[in-house]
Amino acid sequence: MKKYFSILLSCFALSLQAQVTTITPGKIAPDIKLKNINDKVVSFADYPSAKGFIVVFTCNTCPYSRRYEQRIIELNNKYSALGFPVIAVNPNDPQSSPGDSFDEMKKHAASNKFTFPYLYDEGQLITTAYGAKNTPHVFVISKTARGNIVEYTGAIDNDAENTDAAKTKYVEDAISALLNSSKPAITVTKAIGCRISWKKTQ
């Protein structure tokens, strides 16, 4: 009996993983309504004058996220004034990754001086809706007459280690294009980083 149960469980785990498909450019960006580290709920509607958003799935614990943290702060500092603020979402389940609990998020954002909301995705529904795969995983979104549209998804740039001055800055390039009323030349890259810690199915 126990054996069948474990087979059933592993099938369930597989099907859960298989369900996560990254949303593709051109599709409507699912609305976000999540609790920020200051305990207030944040959603797209809180930004009436924004032209779009830089949604970043990132966390406290992943070395890639940490490598990119300063670059995420710089993105927000540069582009929030131009209409594209950063909204960060922690996708990890706190039981699977205790270092990514809501309390740890508060501490982490304070000690690293986050200048943007850092939202807690309880139940991982938004993470699933976007199909975020790894941390950090970015979605550049523009507000249009059709609604909020995904314009770019993937990595921030092609140099996680941050040693190449001539790196390709995918997110900056995508937003520059949008600010020039055109479309990004590159719309999908791979979000290199740590696999998202999903809630264990038991």
- Which of helix, strand or coil describes residue 80? coil
**Residue of 80, 115, 158, 176 interacting with another protein (CB under 8 A):** 158
Residue 90 CA, chain-centre distance (Å), reads: 7
**190 interacts with another protein by CB under 8 A:** yes
Q: How far is the CB of 108 from another protein (least distance, A)?
A: 16
**160 interacts with another protein by CB under 8 A:** yes
Q: For residues 60 and 57, what is the distance between their CA atoms, to the nearest angstrom?
A: 11
CB contact at 8 A, 67 and 160: yes
List the structure tokens of 129.
Answer: 């809706």
Tell me, residue by residue from 38 to 77, as one string, x for binding to another protein by CB under 8 A and - for no binding: -------------------------x---x----------
**173 interacts with another protein by CB under 8 A:** no
CB contact at 8 A, 114 and 148: no
**127 interacts with another protein by CB under 8 A:** no
**90 interacts with another protein by CB under 8 A:** no
Q: How far is the CB of 200 from another protein (least distance, A)?
A: 13
What DSSP string describes 59-105?
A: -SS-HHHHHHHHHHHHHHHHHTTTT--EEEEE---TTT-GGGSHHHH
List contacts with another protein (CB under 8 A): 63, 67, 133-134, 155, 158-161, 163-164, 168, 189-195
